[in-house]
Structure 1
C-alpha cells in the first residue's frame, strides 16, 4: 500500500508546488501594478503574499480554490443555488442518463456490427466519422432541434452525453466480442452451440474486460458532454453554469473550483466502475 501511495503523493506534491510557483508568475503583473500606483516597494515576501491572495487572480492558488470549495459545499445548504453539491447533482443527473443511453446504444451497435457484415461495412465507418465533428459545434444544434419538438431540460444534455459516450463502448465491445480465438469458436461449434449460446457463453464473458475499460472512458466523456451541453443553453444550474457565471464576471476562483469539482466527480465515477469491474471479473474467475 505504501509502495503505491508514495509515488502518488510525490506527483501530487509536485503539482501543488508548480501550481504555487505558476500563481506567483501569472499574478505578479497585477501586484506590481498596484504597488506602482500606491508608491509601495514590493519585497519578495509581499509579492508572494499578494499573488496568493488576489480577489480575481489570473491563476488562483490551491488554498484559494480549496477555500472556495469548502465554502460552497460544507458551508452552503445542498438546496442552495450557490452550493457546488447542488450544481454537481444537476450535472451528474444528465451524465448518468447520457451514460446509460450511450452504453445501451454502444452495446447494441457492437452486437449488430459483430453479427451482421452489412452493419460492419456500413455502420462502423459512420460511427468513427461521427466523432470527427466538434462537440461544441453540434451541441447547440442538438439543443435547438430538441427544443423545437418540445424537449428541453435534462434530456438535451443527456443526448449530448450519449453522443460522446457511445463511441468508446462500440469500439471496446466490438473488440471484446471478437476476442475469442478460432479454437474457442470451433469448440462451441463442436458442442453444436447456437449463435445465441455462443454469445452468452463465450463472446460476452470474453468481452467483459474490454467493456469495463470502455465504460471508464465513456463515463468521463459523458461528464464532459453534460458540462458542454450546459454552455450554449445559458443554464442556471450545473457545473457548466458555474463555469459560465465565473467567466462572465471574471471569477477565476469560482471557475477553478467548478473544474476541480468536475474532476473529482469524474474520478469518483470511474473509481466506482473500477470497483464493479473488480467484483465482476473476480466472480467470473478472471481476476
Structure 2
C-alpha cells in the first residue's frame, strides 16, 4: 500500500526534470551561468596587472585569496565584475531619489522620452512613405533608392550636424535627439511595410477588383491587414534602434542628462562601473520596449482573427 502510494512521487521527479530540460528555462540558465563565469574570468585577467602594480607600490604581500578578492573589487577596474555592476544598478536605481541627477531612473527617463518620440515619428513617417511607394510608381522609383541610401551615412557623422542645425533655428532639448532616433527607426518600418502591403497575392487583388472595390477599400480591407505582421516585426527593430539613436544624440551635445551623457561622463572620469551600469540599463529598456511591441502585436493579430 505504501509502496504504491510512493511510486507516483518517484516517477514524477524525472518527469519534472525532463520537462525543465526540454523547455527554455534550463538552457537559458546554463547560458547565463556560462556568460557570468567567463565574465568573472576576464575581469580577473584584465584587472590583475593593475592590482599587482598596486601591491608592488604599497610594498604589500598578498595571498591568492586576497588577490582574487581585491581584483574583483577595484574602484576603477578595467572590466568591472558582475556583482559590481549589479550593485551600482541597485544603488543608482533604488537607493537614490528618481529626481536626482545621480539616479539611473532619471537618466533612463530622459533617454526613454527621446526614444518614444523618435519611434512614434519614425513609425508614422515609415508607414506614410511605404503607402506612397506601393501606390505610386514614381515614388517607388525615386524615393525608395534614397531611403536605402540614407542608411549608408554613419549616424555618428550626421548626429552633430542635426544638433547644430536645429540649435541654430532655436530647437534644442528633446526634439533633436528624437529626430536622430527618427532617422534610424523609419527605415525598417518603410522596408517592412512595403513588403507587407505588397504581400497579397494577385488572385486576392483580382477578387477585390471583381467585387468592384475602390482603391481605398482594397487598401483598408486587404493590404493593411496583410501588412500587420510585417509592421509589428519592423517596429520591434525600430524601437530598439530608436534607443540607440537617442543615446548617440546625447553624446555630441554635451548633455548632462540621459544614458548617453552617463556613458560620456563615465568615459571622461574612468568610471567603468558607471559605464557598464548605463549599458545594462539601456539593454533593459530596449528589451522592455521590444516586449511591449510584441504584446501589442499578439493582441492586434488576435483581435483581427489572425494567428499571433
Scaled by the length of structure 2, the TM-score of the pair is 0.91
Corresponding residue number in structure 2 for 1:106: 126
- 1:42 Cα deviation from its structure 2 partner: 4.0
Corresponding residue number in structure 1 for 2:251: 231
Is residue 31 of structure 1 aligned with residue 51 of structure 2? yes
Unaligned runs of 5+ residues in structure 1 are none
- 1:7 Cα deviation from its structure 2 partner: 1.7
Separation (CA, whole Å) in 2 of partners of 1:144 and 1:44: 54
**SS of the counterpart of 2:44?**
helix
Corresponding residue number in structure 2 for 1:173: 193
Separation (CA, whole Å) in 2 of partners of 1:15 and 1:201: 48
Separation (CA, whole Å) in 2 of partners of 1:198 and 1:118: 20
Residue of 116, 126, 132 corresponding to 1:96: 116
Deviations along 1:49-95, one digit per CA (max 9) or x if unpaired, are 12210000010001000000111010000100000001100000000
Separation (CA, whole Å) in 2 of partners of 1:6 and 1:277: 27
Separation (CA, whole Å) in 2 of partners of 1:236 and 1:154: 13
Q: Which runs of 4+ in 1 moved over 4 A?
A: none
**SS of the counterpart of 1:241?**
helix
Is residue 241 of structure 1 aligned with residue 248 of structure 2? no
Corresponding residue number in structure 1 for 2:175: 155
Residue of 282, 300, 305 corresponding to 1:262: 282
Q: Contact between 1:176 and 1:210, CA under 8 Å: does it hold in 2?
A: yes
TM-align CA RMSD: 1.0
Q: Contact between 1:32 and 1:42, CA under 8 Å: does it hold in 2?
A: no
Separation (CA, whole Å) in 2 of partners of 1:276 and 1:69: 29
What number of residue pairs does the alignment pair up?
287
- 1:141 Cα deviation from its structure 2 partner: 0.1
Separation (CA, whole Å) in 2 of partners of 1:60 and 1:239: 18
Which structure: larger Rg? 2
**SS of the counterpart of 1:234?**
coil
Residue of 79, 84, 92 corresponding to 2:104: 84
**SS of the counterpart of 2:205?**
helix
Separation (CA, whole Å) in 2 of partners of 1:186 and 1:7: 48
Corresponding residue number in structure 2 for 1:208: 228
Corresponding residue number in structure 1 for 2:205: 185
Separation (CA, whole Å) in 1 of partners of 2:139 and 2:77: 53
- 1:286 Cα deviation from its structure 2 partner: 1.6
Separation (CA, whole Å) in 2 of partners of 1:243 and 1:206: 41
